[in-house]
A = this chain, B = another copy of it.
């Protein structure tokens, strides 16, 4: 018998890695509640539209995932991400007419809240005489925007917020979201801005109790998280428009890495960003293009996400038109 060829081999390895990951994951809390909310949200937005064909819906992932080192989690490896990119992009997606499923890390930035200080309640409000409270003048506009615009988006049914913490929660929720998103075909987009752990400790390999600190060296061995972008693109959401991100601290390898990810995971675009300049410019890498997108520096409050989401929205529209012609 011949050995299986390379591609089959890789596929089998990925499948078994994916199975091992999900088999090892602790069951998701509130699974049914999440499914119910999602179905309602997607149904509502896929019907409502001026032209009768339903809205475009984007799943924006945002913030970093954690990889627990202990089952009763005291220690974990965290991936730094403020969630600024995802929160800001969500605002521009709403402006561009999308409905947004915001899959975010607990405690990370929220849409319409990014000009607030770290601890908005304590930093923005002050006590007045008679023990009443009021917003400090400096924050009056930011606080009003945060509450009014945020609640307007949620209450009008255009913004669904779903929080995660661990890599186990994140990937299970992404899988759950992809199912009803299939129903809207190419009008679905995945905008995968979350900083996802590359490594994890399989749940069953973890010690139940807190790791004791007796020894002088802690040797933590983590295994690679299966390349779920492949799985999402191939199995979970084969018709959706898929955008992933590449963040590097070393600009020399950034574009090469982004192009590698584009090809490896068959993304429609990869947004390449370097840690130190990521709020000023990003590069959108597609199969036949490499477009540098910059914020308008002549406007103090412009964001790089403004031109970025405009560009992606155009590309998504073209993708939907192409899909119609292909039918």
Q: Which residues of A contact B (CB under 8 A)?
A: 66, 69-70, 72-80, 106-107, 110, 113, 116, 118-122, 124-127, 131, 133, 135, 143-144, 146-148, 150-152, 195, 198-199, 208-211, 213, 215-224, 247-250, 275
A127-B113 CB under 8 A given contacts A77-B76, A219-B219: no
Chain B residues with CB under 8 Å of A107's CB are 107, 118
CB-based contact B209/A249 at 8 Å: yes
CB-based contact B119/A147 at 8 Å: no
CB-based contact A78/B76 at 8 Å: yes
Nearest CB in chain B: distance from A170 CB, A: 16
A275-B72 CB under 8 A given contacts A127-B151, A148-B131: yes
List 26 contacting pairs A-B, 8 Å CB cutoff, sorted by A.
A66-B78, A74-B79, A74-B80, A74-B195, A74-B247, A74-B249, A106-B118, A107-B118, A121-B146, A122-B150, A122-B151, A126-B147, A133-B143, A133-B144, A133-B147, A199-B213, A199-B217, A213-B224, A215-B224, A216-B223, A217-B221, A218-B224, A219-B219, A219-B220, A219-B221, A219-B222
A73 to B275: give the CA distance in the assembly, Å: 10
Chain multiplicity (copies): 2
Chain B residues with CB under 8 Å of A75's CB are 77-80
Nearest CB in chain B: distance from A197 CB, A: 8
Chain B residues with CB under 8 Å of A127's CB are 147-148, 151-152
Chain A binding site: helix, strand, loop or mixed by DSSP?
mixed
Nearest CB in chain B: distance from A178 CB, A: 23
CB-based contact A218/B195 at 8 Å: no
**Chain B: which residue is nearest A66 at the CB level?**
B78
Nearest CB in chain B: distance from A121 CB, A: 4
